[in-house]
Chain A
């Protein structure tokens, strides 16, 4: 079945440093979604990427979808303490089924 791998599993940064998490799917995707889950909270939708090679920005967050529609990345510039949490990608197939990656947990030291 479809597998979605995310790396790294954990990332510890000093406030102000950049952060990147990578997502790789075993199959070509229809689209990819990114979610953020704060400690003790629930996943909250951040963005959806649909087109091959697509790049979207949300303030300090930059999302990319690979040309082959099998990988994606989330980059945060100049992290802040409010960025802490676990970032999940969810790969969606043409059949409309989504598989979540295991997430990357970000901690930010002030």
Chain B
């Protein structure tokens, strides 16, 4: 079975540009999570969805970040406008159970570099 699929794997962009990261969770999983990983701040939960509904977005840094989940098989994380401090690896993860009570399956990540 395919795992969590993220695209793009790598993105290099200039400050001020819009960035859209995409995620396809594992089929049948009810929860989807967006994490950001940096050396300074480690793994941070940005937002998570349960049954396509955003449950906790308290980790979203600011209004420049937005996330959507229009259906059970697709989610996007958008940064507009991007800034150099947004450079990080962004992971999407999905879980069969609600919330983070069960095993999280991570995608391979999208490495974002903002120049």
A-side residues, CB < 8 A to B, are 30-31, 33, 35, 41-45, 48, 88, 90, 92, 95-103
Contact = CB atoms under 8 A, between A and B. Distances in A.
B96 to A, nearest CB: 12
Nearest to B89: A42
Interface residues of B, number: 20
Nearest to A41: B108
Interface of B: 35, 42-45, 56, 91, 93, 98-109
A102 B100 contact: no
A98 B102 contact: no
A102 B102 CA distance: 20
| Most B CB within 10 A of own CB, among A30, A42, A101 | A42
B26 to A, nearest CB: 13
B103 A48 contact: yes
Contact of A96 (B42, B101, B106): B101
Contacts of A88: 43
Nearest to B3: A42
Given A97-B56, A100-B42, A42 B101 contact: no
B66 to A, nearest CB: 21
